[in-house]
Structure 1
Amino acid sequence: MKKIKLGLLPRVIIAIALGIALGNVLSLPVVRVFVTFNAVFSQFLNFVIPLIIIGLVTPAIADIGKGAGKLLLATVAIAYADTVLTGVLSYGVGTSLFPSMISSVSDFSSVVKPEGTAPYFEITIPPMADVMSALVFSFLMGLCIAYSNTPTLKNAFMELKEVITKTIAVAVVPLLPLFIFGIFLDMTMKGDAMRIMTVFAKIIVVIFALHIFVLLYQYVIAGAIVRRNPLRLLINMLPAYFTALGTSSSAATIPVSLRQTLKNGVRNDIASFVVPLCATIHMSGSTLKITACALTLCMLEGIPHSLPVFIHFIMMLGIVMVAAPGVPGGSIMAALGPLASILGFNTEQQALMIALYIAMDSFGTACNVTGDGAIALVIDKMFKPNRKVAATAADNAPAE
């Protein structure tokens, strides 16, 4: 018989459903088994997060540091500014709408660590470095590798990236559904799981509406700059949007994004440079989702969520997520560092963030890659050649 292979999203959904269904059925001693696993796995996650940052962010920054001078700087600056802007937009909308959505939910602090479900034992695994040290080290090493001739050092970090990627794929991602199952099992025993899920169902609707708004403003701005119909430009990018929706992968969508960007009239050399680069650095949809979900948990938990704190978080998020494409778990795995170091999320809260993010992963990816086309339009306009050069290029262009 053919083996059925479930993806991460179906496994997470099954874990949440089973956790809610069995929370009022299983006895306390059985639940404590899963709580014990969660305690050990939490320590492992704490140990591995700084290594994830060093192993993934360092080579990502090293690769981005090379490029075509002003073209590279302009693309990175626009992509980063848009990523931060969408995060701030998400925070602004969240602070306005979310309090009324979660007002019916009681203090969430009792949900994550309910009384009476202590683990049978705990193992302490101190991390080799704290998250902030890992981030600073990654930036320093990445920039040094990018702007110096150190092939040995670069190869070492590329090999470390392979080790970390394999660790995530083999030791972290497969165990996440079990970890999430334990979290929701624990929550259900306390009687709060359904209310929490109801709140986040409302939040997801707001996030989806924000994604549509972000795409509209991106193409309105791009359309104004290139003096073309923004809706027509956006409609041309819909094949890339739906491809990303189906694959949940920015990298897998690059060929379609590139084709549709060329269809919007962007020159081939610009599109070939901007689209693959933005697939790595432009994370507007992902930042929007993570910010909204993190803000909701902060409100539920009573964690400080002032504007300065979240601007710090969003700006750091826009940097660390350059490591996301091609990595199992993607953006949310890269975001674990800032979630822990800036917002103070513990491993249980991080597990909830992972579950929420994965539940709507494809929508964020679709928003990311569709927005890449808007950036390509702006860059194409900024670096448009003079008329004489343009005329020569048009004369030499192959006929379709």
Structure 2
Amino acid sequence: MNLSIKIFIALVLAAVVGVAAGPEGLPFIKWWIAPIGTIFINLIKMMIVPVVFTSLVVGMTSLGDTKTLGRIGIKTVLIYLVTTAVAIVIGFGVASFGHPGTGIQLAADATVTVKEAPSVMQVLVNMVPTNPVQSMAKAEILPVIMFAIFIGYGIIEVGGKKAELLMVVFDAAAEVCYKIIAAIMKVSPIGVFALLLPVVAANGPKVLLPLISVIACMAVGSIIHVVGVYSTIASVGAHISPAKFFRGMAEAMLIAFSTCSSAGTLPVNMKNLQEKLGCSREVTSFVLPLGATINMDGTALYMGVCSLFIANVFGVDLSVQQMLMIVFTGTLASIGTAGVPGAGLIMLAMVLQSVGLPIEGLALVAGIDRVLDMFRTCLNITGDAAVALAIDRTEHHKVVA
């Protein structure tokens, strides 16, 4: 049986068993089953830094010159910003049609503490590590990317037999990482089941019912963005049929949906993109790690839906000017909150403040944030892959059927 089918079956089983167990079975699930999911997540996280570092160095040295790297970097960031803005607009469109929150009276009695978002300049400063080993230990992806870029640059500049020796070492290390990831993926259905079961048991139908309109809008918006935007990028930009694109991405999308971790899905995404969709290693190794930190299409769509939901609950009519401000602020915030834990709530807080919506509205969606995060993460990593394929096409002029 195909691995993606096994993972899907695990998703369905987790939903059925979770609803049947309910809150009464939660203590047993948390004690005996949830730790298995944590072990699975830890196994994936264990490989994030090694695969990003080794693959990025290999990718850079494969490119052969710094001009190519700069060209790829500029194209990648520009496409990410455009798709982020489009995601917010789609979020607005779906929420305007679905009217989430209309007629619902929810008391925002909970308080949500959101970290202050760093400035863009602070993000740039934090990208350069003072201690690369410490950054690796903390799994800070942007500093690791920067260090790998400098290592790759140094190897290119050295050249000759010494450089070839290092390239062979890093290439071998990257291959070892891929083999370990393949072994971890064999147990992914068990890990996915153990991860989702406590979530479904804790957030049963009765808990989700008042906010089902938000979840529905998020799901519909995600489907529209995936089919409308990413299929177009894959087919027009990379000459890959939507059917082949989604078949190749199935495993990574299901892992992202269940783990809610773009960084955690990164090793799987890189492996699938290279082996199933034929994307070159040098492009994959640069575009995907960058996308895992700054490409937040899912979070952008979430901001469009949730800002209208909060406006409806509090009886605020958003003007066209306010909506444009949300699009502008959200697009910039996607880079300003790069690599920050809880980036989704930080970005939403910034957006609410920019248009004068009640910040207390965060408490309304915080309870279902874990459910919404499934759609956000799945959308994020799918966008990373579509952009990587398009960039690879422009660099190598491949035509894939």
Secondary structure of the corresponding residue to residue 360 of structure 1: helix
Contact in 1 for aligned 2:208/2:368 (Cα 8 Å): no
State how far apart, in whole Å, the 2-side matches of 1:83 and 1:348 are: 25
Count residues in correspondence: 271
Q: Which residue of 1 aligns with 2:391?
A: 379
Judged with a 3 Å threshold, the aligned counterparts in structure 2 of structure 1 residues 346 and 77 are, in CA distance, closer, same or farther, namely same
State how far apart, in whole Å, the 1-side matches of 2:320 and 2:243 are: 33
Which amino acid counterpart does residue 282 of structure 1 have in structure 2? N
Secondary structure of the corresponding residue to residue 278 of structure 2: coil
Which amino acid counterpart does residue 210 of structure 1 have in structure 2? G
**Which segments of 5 or more consecutive residues in structure 2 lack a partner in the other structure?**
1-17, 24-65, 141-205
Q: Which residue of 1 aligns with 2:90?
A: 89
Shift of the alpha carbon at 1:316? 2.2
State how far apart, in whole Å, the 2-side matches of 1:295 and 1:369 are: 25
Q: Which residue of 1 aligns with 2:40?
A: none
Shift of the alpha carbon at 1:141? 4.4
Listed as ranges, the matches of 1:128-139 within 5 Å are 138-139=119-120
State how far apart, in whole Å, the 2-side matches of 1:326 and 1:145 are: 10
Highest RCO, 1 vs 2 (Cα 8 Å, sep ≥ 6) = 2
Q: Which residue of 2 aligns with 1:169?
A: none
Contact in 1 for aligned 2:101/2:310 (Cα 8 Å): no
State how far apart, in whole Å, the 2-side matches of 1:336 and 1:246 are: 22
What is the percent sequence identity of the aligned residues? 26
Q: Which residue of 2 aligns with 1:71?
A: 72
After superposition, the C-alpha distances for 1:187-211 in whole angstroms (9 at most, x for unaligned) are xxxxxxx8x9645202312211221
Judged with a 3 Å threshold, the aligned counterparts in structure 2 of structure 1 residues 386 and 343 are, in CA distance, closer, same or farther, namely closer
**Which segments of 5 or more consecutive residues in structure 1 lack a partner in the other structure?**
1-12, 19-65, 115-126, 163-193, 388-400
Contact in 2 for aligned 1:323/1:334 (Cα 8 Å): no
After superposition, the C-alpha distances for 1:97-143 in whole angstroms (9 at most, x for unaligned) are 21xx554436x6xx3479xxxxxxxxxxxx9xx97xx76xx224445
After superposition, the C-alpha distances for 1:254-284 in whole angstroms (9 at most, x for unaligned) are 1110111112121110111111111111111
State how far apart, in whole Å, the 2-side matches of 1:142 and 1:203 are: 31
Match of 1:204 among 193, 205, 215: 215
Shift of the alpha carbon at 1:333? 3.4
State how far apart, in whole Å, the 1-side matches of 2:126 and 2:337 are: 20
Which one has the largest radius of gyration? 1
Which amino acid counterpart does residue 83 of structure 1 have in structure 2? T
Query: RMSD of aligned C-alpha atoms?
Result: 4.2
Contact in 1 for aligned 2:303/2:330 (Cα 8 Å): no
Judged with a 3 Å threshold, the aligned counterparts in structure 2 of structure 1 residues 210 and 340 are, in CA distance, closer, same or farther, namely closer
State how far apart, in whole Å, the 1-side matches of 2:248 and 2:131 are: 43
Listed as ranges, the matches of 1:226-305 within 5 Å are 226-262=238-274, 263-305=276-318
Shift of the alpha carbon at 1:95? 1.5
Listed as ranges, the matches of 1:336-375 within 5 Å are 336-375=348-387
Q: What TM-score does the superposition give when structure 2 sets the normalisation length?
A: 0.57
